[in-house]
Amino acid sequence: MKTNRYLLSILVDDEPGVLSRIAGLFSGRGFNIDSLSVATTADPNVSRITMVTNCDAQIIEQIKKHLHKLINVITVNDLTEKKYVERQLALIKVHAKPEKRAEILRIVDIFRCKIVHIGHSHYIIEMSGNNEKHEAFISLLQPMGIVEIASTGSIALARENGK
């Protein structure tokens, strides 16, 4: 079956164990989580979980229903088909050979990223953007020699209010 990338924004009670309930739901039913990010919201009793998963249309329906069934889940908003803003933050450590530095700086500039550390042989670059930008940026840096990457999961908000 054809799989798609789905982006879910889930509001949950901020209680111990909520994350393991969600993680357990996915592992117990063989669903995949591609990325996950959790933080409190303006309401200190509520956390937002932003989750990315790749699956087919029937599975995402099951995932949404099962998430909703968890007692601590308040709302499940599938942003996939909606207008939304998505960001991922990544720190990328890349080899900075003298002859490549100008090119790295150019790429960083085009993508409006920042160099946050300069070492003798490498840079650390901070980039933020949606998933596509993230992938494009990484693929351009690949030839320079990426040493390591630390990346957050996606976070996202619907553009319109209420939904």
Partner 1 sequence: MKLTGAQILIKMIKSQGVDTIFGYPGGATIDIHDELARHPDLRHILVRHEQGAVHAADGYSRAHDCVGVALVTSGPGATNTVTGIASAHTDSIPMVVFTGQVPTALIGNDAFQEVDIVGITRPCTKHNYLVKDPNKLAATIQEAFHIARSGRPGPVLVDLPKDILQAQIEFEMPKETALRSYKPNYTPNKKQLAKAVTMLKEAKRPVIFAGGGVILSRASKELTSIAKLAKIPVTGSLMGLGAFPGSHSLWLGMLGMHGTFRANMSIGTSDLIIAAGVRFDDRVTGNVKKFAPNAKIIQIDIDPTSIHKNIPVQCPIVGDCKTALAGILDLMEKEDPKDLTIDRGPWLDQIAQWKHTTPLKYEQGPEVIKPQFVVEKLYEATEGKAIITTEVGQNQMWAAQFYHFDKPNHFITSGGLGVMGFGLPAAIGAKAACPDKMVVDIAGDGSIQMNIQELMTAIESKLDVKIVILNNRFLGMVRQWQEFFYDKAYASTNMENAPDFVLLAQAYGAKGFRCDDPAKVEQTLKLGLETPGTVIMEFLVEREESVYPMVPAGGAITEMLLV
* Contact with partner 1 (CB under 8 A) among 5, 68, 97, 106: 68
In this chain, which of 5, 32, 56, 69 binds partner 1, going by CB under 8 A? 69
Would you count residue 158 as binding partner 1 (CB under 8 A)? no
Residue with smaller CB distance to partner 1, 12 or 125: 12
How many residues lie near partner 1 (CB under 8 A)?
19
> How do beta strands 114-118 and 84-95 pair?
unpaired
Using CB under 8 A, which residues numbered 71 to 110 contact partner 1?
71-74
Q: Cβ 39 to partner 1, closest distance in Å?
A: 18
**DSSP annotation string for the chain:** ---EEEEEEEEEE--TTHHHHHHHHHHHHT---SEEEEEE-SSTTEEEEEEEEEE-HHHHHHHHHHHHHSTTEEEEEE-TTS-EEEEEEEEEEEE--GGGHHHHHHHHHHTT-EEEEE-SSEEEEEEEE-HHHHHHHHHHHGGG-EEEEEEPPPEEEESSS--
- Per rule CB under 8 A, is residue 28 in the interface with partner 1? yes
Choice from 32, 41, 54, 62 touching partner 1 (CB under 8 A): 62
Could you tell me if residue 112 is left (phi over 0), alpha (psi between -120 and 50 degrees) or otherwise beta?
left
Considering the rule CB under 8 A, would residue 38 count as an interface residue with partner 1? Answer: no
Site for partner 1 in 1-20 (CB under 8 A): 12-13, 16-17, 20
**Using rule CB under 8 A, residue 130 touches partner 1:** no
| Contact residues for partner 1, defined by CB under 8 A | 12-13, 16-17, 20-21, 24, 28, 58, 61-62, 65-66, 68-69, 71-74
